[in-house]
Structure 1
Amino acid sequence: MAQKTRIWTDVDFDKEGVSNGYLQVPHSTNDSGYGWIPVPITIIKNGSGPSVLLMAGNHGDEYEGQVLMMKLLRSLSPNRIRGRLVIVPGVNAPAVAAGHRVSPADGGNLNRLFPGDPNGTPTQMIAHYIDSVLLPLVRYCFDFHSGGYSLEYIPSAHVVTPPDPALRSEAIGFLGAFAMPSSILIEGLTGDDQLLLGSCRRLGVGHMSTELGGAGGFSVEAFRAAERGLPRLLRHVGVLVEGDDPGPAPATRFYLRQPARDLVYAMENGVFEANAKLGETVEEGELAGAIHFPEIPWRSPQAIIFPKGGTILAKRAPAKAKIGDCLFALGSPYDA
């Protein structure tokens, strides 16, 4: 028998109107023996209709989605909703508070710990709560990410394409409605059972994610595009009542992201001199950059070569790099 969550909340998921409160994650520490970690949550419900889970702060150093969720929950009145919105703007709350990718409470990367553990660390308990309580309530889950401190992305949304043709068409429909400047498709992803995506697929929940900038900052371009796209996406799935006519969604450029093994990685520790920028199209064998060695400044830098051509979707943000750090992610134009 599946174990029940240890997280509790006073928020009523079925109450009509707006309900604000916390998911209370038990966490015993030196300075708080019976303490709990507060994870803010808002429920907006109005009658029957689809239920949608909106999340940000899966990684705490990704800020555009957090602001997008906070502005949305403050602006929506229940009469604009048909069904239920579940909004969690800072789901990995300790990571959000610290501005870190992973939680300082336990070192947990939430998006690598699904389906979680009800008796595990705080991050494992949060993953289990999403998997066992939140996702079974909803038909759709949209998770808003950015590149975080270490990466900067072109403003984009992305889906890992399902093998089923109907589900694939649904996922591409999310991208078309949200209509970021670029849309990224990922195929053949390994280890997806440890991601939120894996739980969504197992439970039959439609899923889309984003990459809204990154580099530990706040991308105005990506945020504004997401702010325009979110109402279209919510209308597309039927949870947002039609309001003012937003006009047709703008065109989005589709890319198929290269698999992880083909991304460009650092093979030495040092300072990375990039030779290409976001959105640029490069050729196989072209110089991507160089790793310089401050401790041995007379040593020749190590040249980094693009193993395959394509369009640069993401690049490393910090100049300091070590072996295994991703320097560039590329994709190829795709006719969706």
Structure 2
Amino acid sequence: MARISTVSASVDFEQDGKQTGYLTIPHSPHEDAWGATRLPVCVIRNGAGPTAILMAGNHGDEYEGQIALGELIRTLDPAGISGRLIILPALNLPAVVAGRRTSPVDGLNLNRTFPGDPAGSISQQITAYLSDVIYPLGDALVDLHSGGSSLDILPSAIVEPASDPAHMRRNVEAVMAFDAPLTVVISNLGEPRTSTAAAVRAGLTTVGTEMAGQGTVSRETLALCRRGVRNVLAHVGILPADAATRHNESARTVLEIPGSAGYVYATRDGIFEGAHALGDSVQAGQQAGLIHDIHAPWREPEPVFYGANGILFGRRQPGRVTHGNCCAVVAAPYAGDL
């Protein structure tokens, strides 16, 4: 039985040309009895061809993708494409407005709510509409992320694993076409509730990114994001082949986060002092940093250690940590078949 959604779209997904509008979700908080949350959406269509879904603002404190997709909406001529683009540049609008990873409306991380619930909270309604309406229209998904305000990450394009070898190959080829300095397989420890995991279940060729972080905008990674989106669109046949530009041959080397051993977590509250720079080679058992006690500074700081060999792929951005915060992430050569 089909799930019934209250989300309405002011755009026609089957109409040629360029349309901008909103996905409107009824929302009745204390301040607004008959209000709505309105997510900006753009559809660009030119005849028959593949459909790519482009998303940013899944987390509100990740900015390069939001800028790049806004620019694409303003500049792309429908006559220059073959097929259709569905562009959602501020997917989690409440979090985007607040500049936060999670929604200030319901406190949820939208990227842990798929396949959503059309009768649930705002975040759950957004992901239900994506799962039930938007994803079935698509052939490919590009979901643009960065490290946000809590992580600094090496700029990279991300492979969401697929159990079917042919689907996995499609994902890898599209991610390599993005042409980031690194290609990294990230399974989120098997987490099924993410946008990219849901896209793989829907059969979409799936591309993710991590565009640096620190809660700011990097000019270099913004340029990479702009170029990478167009590269993927050329790869899937929506833009002409000569729209692609390639700079990073090293991206052909595929890395992965090697399971739970790839993460270093804070073992106490305090201030984290990292021992290495992003990109440094590290070894299992090597000291990853120190956690300094803020309540008893006369105590010796507590060391934390890497659990895997590889390179330092991500590092916590704020110095202040609490027990369980992710302090460091290691990426290692991919061990699977491609």
Q: Distance in 2 between matches of 1:229 and 1:251?
A: 15
Q: For 1:7-26, what aligned pairs fall within 5 Å after superposition?
A: 7-26=7-26
Aligned to 1:39: 39
Aligned-pair CA distance for 1:243: 4.7
CA offsets, 1:21-73, max 9 Å, x none? Answer: 01111110111101001100000000000011000000000001111111111
Q: Distance in 1 between matches of 2:126 and 2:256?
A: 31
Local SS of the residue matching 1:171 = helix
Structure 1 counterpart of 2:37, one-letter code: I
Aligned-pair CA distance for 1:331: 1.1
Local SS of the residue matching 1:152 = strand
Aligned to 2:119: 119
Q: Distance in 2 between matches of 1:247 and 1:222?
A: 15
Aligned to 1:255: 255
Aligned to 1:317: 317
> For the Cα contact (< 8 Å) 1:258–1:329, is it kept in 2?
no
Local SS of the residue matching 2:190 = coil
Aligned-pair CA distance for 1:258: 1.8
Structure 2 counterpart of 1:205, one-letter code: L
> For the Cα contact (< 8 Å) 2:50–2:236, is it kept in 1?
yes
Aligned to 2:331: 331
CA offsets, 1:172-228, max 9 Å, x none? Answer: 101221110001013583232x12223222321121100001111112222222222
Aligned-pair CA distance for 1:308: 2.1
Aligned-pair CA distance for 1:150: 0.7
Residue segments in structure 1 that go unaligned for 5+ positions in a row: none
Local SS of the residue matching 1:48 = coil
Q: Distance in 1 between matches of 2:275 and 2:165?
A: 39
Cα pair distance change 1:326/1:276, threshold 3 Å = same
Aligned-pair CA distance for 1:99: 0.2
Aligned-pair CA distance for 1:257: 1.2
Q: Distance in 1 between matches of 2:229 and 2:219?
A: 15
Aligned to 1:2: 2
Q: Distance in 2 between matches of 1:287 and 1:95?
A: 35
Local SS of the residue matching 2:8 = coil
So what's the TM-score if we normalise by structure 1? 0.95
Aligned to 1:196: 195
Cα pair distance change 1:244/1:175, threshold 3 Å = closer
Structure 2 counterpart of 1:236, one-letter code: H
> For the Cα contact (< 8 Å) 2:45–2:84, is it kept in 1?
yes
Aligned residues: 335
> For the Cα contact (< 8 Å) 1:156–1:222, is it kept in 2?
no
Q: Which moved more, 1:89-98 or 1:210-219?
A: 210-219
Local SS of the residue matching 2:189 = coil
Identity of aligned residues (%): 38
> For the Cα contact (< 8 Å) 2:262–2:331, is it kept in 1?
no
Structure 1 counterpart of 2:201, one-letter code: R
Q: Distance in 2 between matches of 1:211 and 1:139?
A: 22
Q: Distance in 2 between matches of 1:108 and 1:244?
A: 38
Aligned to 1:234: 233
Q: Distance in 2 between matches of 1:306 and 1:297?
A: 24
> For the Cα contact (< 8 Å) 1:146–1:210, is it kept in 2?
yes
> For the Cα contact (< 8 Å) 1:178–1:249, is it kept in 2?
no
Q: Distance in 1 between matches of 2:162 and 2:116?
A: 22
CA offsets, 1:84-143, max 9 Å, x none? Answer: 000000000000000000100111211100111111101100000000110011111110
So what's the TM-score if we normalise by structure 2? 0.95
Q: For 1:90-105, what aligned pairs fall within 5 Å after superposition?
A: 90-105=90-105
Q: For 1:64-213, what aligned pairs fall within 5 Å after superposition?
A: 64-187=64-187, 189-192=189-192, 194-213=193-212
Q: Distance in 2 between matches of 1:308 and 1:262?
A: 6
Local SS of the residue matching 2:217 = coil
Cα pair distance change 1:163/1:202, threshold 3 Å = closer
> For the Cα contact (< 8 Å) 1:40–1:89, is it kept in 2?
yes
